[in-house]
Amino acid sequence: MRPIEYQNHTRIKENHYDRAKEFMRDYLTKLLLQGIHRIDYMKGVSLPHSLIERPKTDMHGDYASSIALAVARQVKRSPQNIARDIVAHLPSDPKWIDQVDIVAPGFINFRLTKQWLWHALRGILEEGSVYGRAHLGGGKKVQLEFVSANPTGPLNVVSARAAAVGDALAHILTSVGYRVEREYYVNDAGRQMDLLVASVDAAYHRLQGIDVSPPEGGYHGDYIEGVARRILDEDNGKYVNMTPPERQATFRDLVLEKILDNQRECLKRFRLRYDVWFREQELRESDALDDVLSRLRDGGYVYENDGATWFRSTGFGDEKDRVLVTSDGHPTYFLSDIAYHRNKFERGFEWIIDLWGPDHHGHITRMKAAMEALGYDPGALELRIVQQVNLLQAGEKAKMSKREGRLVSMEAFIEEVGVDVARFFFLMRKTSAHLDFDIDLAKRQSEENPVYYIQYAHARICSILRHADESEAGTARAEDVSMTLLDTEEELTLVKRLLMYPEVIERCAASLEPQGLTAYLQEVASDFHPFYHRHRVVTENGDLTAARLMLVEAVKLVLRNGLSLLGISAPEKM
RNA sequence: GCGCCCGUAGCUCAGCUGGAUAGAGCGCCGGACUUCGAAUCCGUAGGUCGAGAGUUCGAAUCUCUCCGGGCGUACCA
């Protein structure tokens, strides 16, 4: 699989298809408006934002308008009559518009000519790996922060879901013209870190037969001992003789690096890369926390009570005020997080997207409040929750809760089901909804699950292309191929499906939900397979072969582009 | 208690800013390989969209109430 190059997204060449696509949407709207303006009783009527929609079934044409229904009340006429009047005044265009129908209760349905489909198919092939990109983002600088698990242990399955979603979103946003930077925030400061280090310290001693009791509320998992053992293996126990404060300070770095290494390795295995690993410690060492505190204080959003320092977030719709500095003088995670997000704004991002775990649900309001108090546009901060994952195994739910201590590590998980399957299953569901992941199902039905269905379509096409290559069929130059030979129902259906791709991407980008793309790719595959069964691509008929090869090439293109946005491989053989 | 998410086919879920006969996948049942890959295809069955009311020409979609599930609700991170 050849990855798509995302770098030059701002310079998408203008071509056939771009023009045609915009033309068709705008053009139909323009036609409608022309028709409308020629009708006396439509003068001064307020129209809806969008006049053209895409019908759910192609029984209702390629495009449709419900304008007559929308204005019926205003002009006090029946929708049917209005639709009739509009259509009667519509300029005709036999080249691209095949048919305009009026259907009860007043829809106007447009059916495009095959000429249009063939023309557009050529456009897809011309665009190649760039097909589906758009300019929506306008080069806007956006930061996407995701996973950002505490460095207190291995990544778990919720992290894996966030990883899949974040990576897909980064690809999607890039492809529609944003400049995306991926960031991982490392909470390497604060009390949890202290606890972690103390826990490893205890284990480190235990391994040498020295009884040191672990700290209260400390960490227990096997990985604690694993880290301790690795430190011990590397240093032959030389840290035992240090004073506890010395040792803790030394351990702090060692432990952190070991765990981060583990996390990075795991993410890498999931085919993930980050542009920036941001350390909380960096903020702590600078005066960022004090600075943010004094700025909030200057704004009058801070007060003291019971010895603690509070942020008046209730002024921004929060249900209660929040502590910034505890009564024993520790800055809270919240304060540090405010400083972090301020830092993001200061780095010049115009759009800041965080994917948070379900346990951070309650933090959204207060964080937005803090940014508003600091004078930033809370609308530029997008805080999304990646909902929890319920793992089902043997029909039982295994809750992914740290508190219950039942964690399935991300590493073990992707080892179990594979990267492609894991990613696809995570992206099949809306990010904001809880997800049931049946491991047995994913494995047992692995041969019939949707990932393979899509990948198989791709591999099958590659196989056809190989076959065509060997038999030296369809070697005509693209511009000499007559697309008009693609005239069966299956072929036209496929072309129409391929033409929806840019809209799908745009919708995913707008909603920050990759889910629509997984569904779409399944549809492409399920349009392709029947086509394959009913029609031979490589035949004695050279012209037809050439045309079908082009169609099949376009299907392959869309599958590959789409899968690569999801971070899923498009194998040439399976 | 309050806040957020969710109740759609046996199961897991789509259904975009309200629209035309509510859709997929899986599972079940019955068929299709001398032809570019059967990890595929073809066909059948399956629904009072949790309940009720409201807004509208028109509601799975918007509003309210109720029922039922999940999560959150710290001077923790």
The sheet carrying A141-145 orders its strands as A276-279, A179-186, A141-145, A351-356, A381-385
Instruction: Please report the pLDDT score of residue A399 as a whole number.
Output: 47
Q: Which nucleotide is nearest to A49 (CA to C1')?
A: B17
CATH node for A448-566: 1.10.730.10
How does DSSP classify residue A53?
Answer: B
- CB-side neighbour CA atoms (13 Å) of A568: 31
- A288 CA to B44 C1', in Å? 68
Instruction: Please report the pLDDT score of residue A341 as a whole number.
Output: 95
Residues in chain A with pLDDT < 50? 1-20, 399-406
| CATH class for the region spanning A16-112 | alpha beta
- Shortest CA distance to A485 belongs to which of A418, A549, A561, A433? A549
Domain residue ranges of chain A, discontinuous segments joined by +? 16-112, 142-188+274-385, 191-269, 448-566
Give the CATH superfamily of A142-188+274-385: HUPs (3.40.50.620)
Cβ–Cβ < 8 Å for A131, A105: no
Instruction: Please report the pLDDT score of residue A319 as a whole number.
Output: 82
Instruction: Please report the pLDDT score of residue A301 as a whole number.
Output: 94
Nearest residue to nucleotide B70, by CA–C1' distance, is: A434
Instruction: Please report the pLDDT score of residue A568 as a whole number.
Output: 95
**Nucleotides of chain B within 7 Å of a protein C-beta?**
2-6, 12-17, 19-21, 23-27, 35-42, 56-58, 69-77
Instruction: Please report the pLDDT score of residue A402 as a whole number.
Output: 41
Instruction: Please report the pLDDT score of residue A456 as a whole number.
Output: 94
Q: Which nucleotide is nearest to A458 (CA to C1')?
A: B37
DSSP A236-294: TTGGGGS-HHHHHHHHHHHHHHHHHHHHHHHHHHTT---SEEEEHHHHHHTTHHHHHHH
- Shortest CA distance to A389 belongs to which of A455, A434, A433? A434
- A501 CA to B21 C1', in Å? 26
